[in-house]
Amino acid sequence: MSGILVTGASGFIGRQVVALLAHDGAEVHAVGTSSMPPGPAGALRWHGVDLHDASATHDLLTTVRPDTLLHLAWYTVPGQYWTSPRNYLWVESSLRLFREFLDSGGSRMVGVGSCAEYDWGDGYCSEDITRLAPATTYGVCKDAVRRVADDIARSTATSAAWARLFFLYGPGEHPQRLVPSVVTRLLRGETAPLTRGDQVRDFLHVRDAAGALIALMRSDVRGPVNIASGEGASVAEVAETAARLLGGRVELGALPSRADEPPLLIADVRRLRDEVGWNPGFSLQDGLRDTVGWWRSRVVA
């Protein structure tokens, strides 16, 4: 009865989480469908388990019997995860995982949600105030899991938190997403075509997100907690900062803006800062410098 089970451990965030935890010497059980990724081993044990497989999930939990669960796994293919029916499957599998975790004696669990649970008409997303009104299948499914998990926690007196992630960037991000697509074009000496880019978002470096998730997991803070910087930056500002770091140029307005893009999405981070006691390590400038450096070593111009 010990150790931390991290699902989605080979993903964008999961890789950073298990690296940080292994560095700290924690007993980490990393779950992914792929084979063990390269990285720090130490007390890290890798479990190649498909969480949609009920009996494999049952066997994993009854074997490991983790004390703590951080459930990152979900369907996240860019451009598809907003609407994919695989979201429905993840509702089932997430609830089964929580059930198996508690049945096997677990005591602290952190589920991972999204700013997509909030009403995006509001702009400022506060855990206690902002209405929940997910407009996408992804958001509806995360919200439904949170509602049930919240009740499980309440009725079983389990210590449970729900991390709502905002806009992450950093090493290992999917090449189709904003920062990688801009940086890789610039590294190839091309200009990067963008929308007008005036939408303001709450960006956070993925290593900061991993640190915040671990801090939340190790705290006894319960309920929803935004994982974000609390500061807004426009998409144009992010792209232009990357361009400055690389000596390249972005072409704002070259692509049409999407009509349904909300102008502003900023997190209230008071719970994260005051209750969890966590603050970001990277400024946007430093975080982008780190990211650009990571891509520089991987892209052949």
Min. distance of Cβ 139 from its own copies in angstroms?
9
Name which of 93 and 181 has its Cβ closer to its own copies: 93
Min. distance of Cβ 37 from its own copies in angstroms?
29
Q: What are phi and psi of 197, to 5 degrees?
A: 75, 25
Take residue 202 and report the two structure tokens written for it.
């709450």
State the CB neighbour count (10 A cutoff) for residue 296: 13
Judge contact between 31 and 57, C-beta under 8 A.
no
Q: Which helix (H) or strand (E) covers residue 265, if one does?
A: strand 264-267
Applying CB under 8 A, among 22, 26, 141, 214 the residue interacting with its own copies is 141
Please work out the total of residues on this chain that contact its own copies, with binding judged by CB under 8 A: 23
Give the range of 22-30, 89-97, 166-174, 211-219 binding its own copies by CB under 8 A.
Answer: 89-97
Asked if residue 148 binds its own copies (CB under 8 A), the reply is: yes
Min. distance of Cβ 146 from its own copies in angstroms?
9
Min. distance of Cβ 153 from its own copies in angstroms?
11
Contacts (Cβ under 8 Å, ≥6 apart) of 220: 108, 159
In order, the DSSP letters of 181-210 are HHHHHHHTT--EE------EEEEEEHHHHH
How many H helices and E strands in the chain? 9, 14
Q: 161: helix, coil or strand?
A: strand
Min. distance of Cβ 96 from its own copies in angstroms?
6
Asked if residue 296 binds its own copies (CB under 8 A), the reply is: no
Applying CB under 8 A, among 140, 215, 233, 245 the residue interacting with its own copies is 140
Min. distance of Cβ 82 from its own copies in angstroms?
10
CA 244 to chain centre: 27
Applying CB under 8 A, among 20, 43, 91, 245 the residue interacting with its own copies is 91
Name which of 87 and 181 has its Cβ closer to its own copies: 87
Q: What are phi and psi of 167, to 5 degrees?
A: -105, 110
Applying CB under 8 A, among 144, 215, 245, 299 the residue interacting with its own copies is 144
Applying CB under 8 A, among 45, 65, 96, 218 the residue interacting with its own copies is 96
Give the range of 39-47, 96-104, 177-185, 239-247 binding its own copies by CB under 8 A.
Answer: 96-104
Q: 31: helix, coil or strand?
A: strand
Q: Which of 277, 273, 269, 275 is nearest to 228 (CA)?
A: 269
- Distance set, CA 79 to CA 107, 175, 206 (Å): 35, 12, 19
Applying CB under 8 A, among 155, 256, 297, 301 the residue interacting with its own copies is 155
Which sign, positive or negative, has the C-alpha torsion 159, 142, 88, 180?
Answer: negative
Applying CB under 8 A, among 76, 137, 159, 199 the residue interacting with its own copies is 137
Site for its own copies in 21-80 (CB under 8 A): 54
Question: From CA 29, how far away is CA 13, in angstroms rounded?
Answer: 15
Placement of tokens 């009509």 in the chain: 259
Asked if residue 152 binds its own copies (CB under 8 A), the reply is: yes
Name which of 14 and 134 has its Cβ closer to its own copies: 134
Residues that bind its own copies (CB under 8 A): 54, 83, 85, 88-89, 91-92, 95-96, 98-99, 137, 140-141, 143-144, 147-148, 150-152, 155-156
